Structure formats: C-alpha cells, structure tokens
C-alpha cells in the first residue's frame, strides 16, 4: 500500500508519499485548482496501488483538495488533527515542520485504518455555507451592537448604519436558506422532520441539517452525540482519582451552540424532555448539567426522526 499524507495550509500543500518498500517522496504544491491537478498527476506517476491518502482537517482549507482527489478516484480520509497529534506524541516525534507533519500523516495512514471520506451532496454543502454565513453575520451584528453601547457620539452614526446593513444581510440570508431548503425535496422533508421535535424551530433545523450534512454518516445516536461533543468525559484512575465528569467538547461547537436555547425551550414544551429534566432536578443535578443532558437527548431525537423518517412521537418507545 502507498500511504500519502497531506499537510494543508491556506495557500500550500506539503505532501509525503510513502511507498510499500518504505521509501519516501515529497512534494509541495499550491492549494488551488492548478496545484490540485498537479498533485493528481504526480500521484498517478509515483503511487503504487492501493493508495490511502490522509488529509488533515484545517478549518475548511482541506475541502477543495479532498474533493479533487475524490473526483480523481482516490480513497481519501479527512483526519481529526487531534488524533494525528496524539499519534505523533505516541511515536515521540519532536520535529514539527510542514514536511514532517505530512510524513506523520502518511505514517498514520500506513498504521491506522481511518474511515474513507465521502463528500456530502452538493445541496447539503451549499446549505452549510449559508448557515455558516448567517452565523458570521449574527456574530458581527452582536459585536457592533456591543460597541454602540460605549461608542462616542461621533462614531455612533457609522455603527448604526453598519448594524442596519447587517440586519438587511441577515434577513436576505435567512430568505436564501428557506428558499434553498424548499427547492430540494430531501432537505425540505428533513427540515419538517426535525421541526416536528418540540423546541426546535426553523433556524435551528437549518443549522442542524447544514452541520450534519448527511445523517447516513452516523451509525448511531451515540456517534452523532460524540460528533456534537455531547458525550461525557470521565476522569478516573484507580481508587483515588475520581474527577467530575465533563462534556468532551471535541465535536461541533456550532451544533452545541445551536442546541442551547432549543434545549431550554424543550424543557418546557417537549413532553419527553420535560419529564427527563424533572428527574434530573429531583436527583439534585445542577442547571447546566440538566441543560447539557437535554441537549444530548435532543440530538438523540434528531437522529431518531431523520433515520426513522417519521415525525416526532412522544409516545414512541
């Protein structure tokens, strides 16, 4: 097997190709369409089948090269940087440069068996772009509104105009999101299923679908909860160490953020979660522990309606 590691930066790619006999070839190319085409030709020239390619997830900069390699027929794995870093630490690796990072990823691909990445449908990726743009606009509006509270009189008109412009953009993107979902039957059906869960509204449903991309990626509700970062992380060792359990928070912070306020609403209006929260309160659990537990239950309900293709039913066992 030929193992290939790609260290991704905004403008460049560092590539390490490890042949079955242990020899290495390295390459640098641009993280742009021309560089991706050059990389595909280079792999075709030197790689010996089968080929396993690992690309470290780097804030979205890996998506274009992963797509180019997938379209060229290569098996690509998009790797969690934390997993690769932990693997490097286990190998006592100390040097950290782009070429050594690429070599580490190649070695990870040689020794581990990460799942092969499959791109989500185009309409799901477009929805993700829209909901992330909406999130950015809302964050900018909050920042400008906070500045307005303490701003000198001379700059208030500028901030007010910026807030008004952001309000217009937010309304426009919300309309785009609704129209985009309505135009695609699968997304429209999924939105209706997610919104059937008491506590989840239109905006949250869109964010959930945009961040999940494809529910088929997840084989269980627990796996989806792990992706969201809503599984407990225990800190125990022997008989003396009994640390308090916390959320792992290794998953999607966007999903956790999107589910916080729906969880507060669900405690009041979602009959299943109302009873669940009451049991936790009776057991003396703190408010934030209850909210986190309700968020996790919401993720389980989302998984259930999407995989079962049936609206929320409080009486369904």
Q: What structural domains does the chain harbor?
A: 2-111 (3.30.420.10), 122-212 (no CATH), 215-308 (no CATH)
What pLDDT is stored for residue 241 in this prediction? 44
For CA atoms 36, 42, 47, 50, give the dihedral sign. positive
**pTM, entire model:** 0.79
- Cβ-contact 36, 95 below 8 angstroms: no
What pLDDT is stored for residue 175 in this prediction? 97
What pLDDT is stored for residue 140 in this prediction? 97
What pLDDT is stored for residue 60 in this prediction? 81
- And the tokens for 111? 């020794």
What pLDDT is stored for residue 204 in this prediction? 95
What pLDDT is stored for residue 261 in this prediction? 95
Closest CA to 307 of 232, 240, 216, 236: 216
Could you identify the residue written with the tokens 């490890």? 18
**What do you get for the CA distance between the two ends of the chain, in Å?**
47
How far is the CA of 57 from the CAs of 77, 82, 108, 136, in angstroms? 10, 10, 14, 20
- Cβ-contact 21, 15 below 8 angstroms: no
Alpha-carbon span 11 to 99, nearest angstrom: 15
Could you identify the residue written with the tokens 């180019």? 68
Could you identify the residue written with the tokens 């953009």? 169
Alpha-carbon span 114 to 277, nearest angstrom: 37
- Cβ-contact 18, 105 below 8 angstroms: no
Alpha-carbon span 102 to 54, nearest angstrom: 9
What pLDDT is stored for residue 264 in this prediction? 95
b/e sequence 91-127, b meaning 16+ C-beta within 10 Å: eeeeeeebbbbbbbbbbbbbeeebeebebbeebbbbb
What pLDDT is stored for residue 172 in this prediction? 98
What pLDDT is stored for residue 97 in this prediction? 85
Alpha-carbon span 255 to 209, nearest angstrom: 10
Could you identify the residue written with the tokens 């057991």? 283
Weakly modelled stretches of the chain, pLDDT under 70 = 232-251, 317
What pLDDT is stored for residue 246 in this prediction? 55
What pLDDT is stored for residue 98 in this prediction? 82
What pLDDT is stored for residue 234 in this prediction? 44
């Amino acid at each position: 097997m030929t193992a290939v590691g790609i260290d991704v930066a905004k403008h460049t790619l560092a590539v390490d190709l490890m042949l079955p006999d242990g020899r290495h070839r390295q390459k640098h190319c641009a993280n742009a369409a021309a560089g991706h085409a050059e990389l595909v030709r280079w792999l075709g020239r030197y790689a010996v089948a089968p080929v396993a390619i690992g690309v470290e997830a780097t804030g979205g900069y890996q998506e274009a090269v992963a797509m180019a390699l997938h379209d060229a027929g290569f098996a690509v794995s998009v790797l969690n940087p934390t997993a690769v870093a932990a693997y490097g630490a286990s190998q006592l690796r100390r040097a950290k440069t782009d070429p050594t990072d690429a070599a580490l990823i190649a070695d990870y691909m040689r020794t581990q068996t990460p799942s092969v990445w499959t791109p989500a449908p185009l309409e799901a990726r477009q929805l993700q772009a829209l909901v992330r743009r909406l999130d950015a606009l809302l964050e900018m509006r909050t920042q400008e509104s906070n500045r307005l509270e303490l701003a000198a009189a001379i700059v208030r008109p500028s901030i007010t105009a910026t807030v008004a412009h952001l309000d217009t953009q937010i309304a426009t993107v919300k309309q785009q999101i609704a129209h985009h979902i309505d135009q695609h039957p699968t997304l429209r059906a999924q939105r209706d299923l997610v919104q059937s869960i008491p506590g989840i509204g239109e905006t949250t449903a869109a964010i959930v679908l945009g961040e999940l991309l494809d529910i088929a990626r997840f084989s269980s509700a627990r796996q989806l909860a792990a992706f969201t970062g809503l599984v407990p992380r225990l800190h125990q060792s022997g008989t003396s160490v009994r640390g308090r359990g916390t959320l792992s928070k290794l998953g999607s912070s966007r999903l956790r953020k999107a589910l916080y306020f729906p969880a507060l609403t669900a405690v009041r209006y979602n009959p299943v979660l109302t009873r669940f929260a009451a049991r936790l309160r009776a057991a003396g659990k703190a408010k934030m522990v209850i909210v986190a537990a309700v968020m996790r239950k919401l993720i389980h309900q989302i998984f259930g309606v999407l995989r079962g293709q049936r609206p929320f039913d409080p009486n369904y066992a």
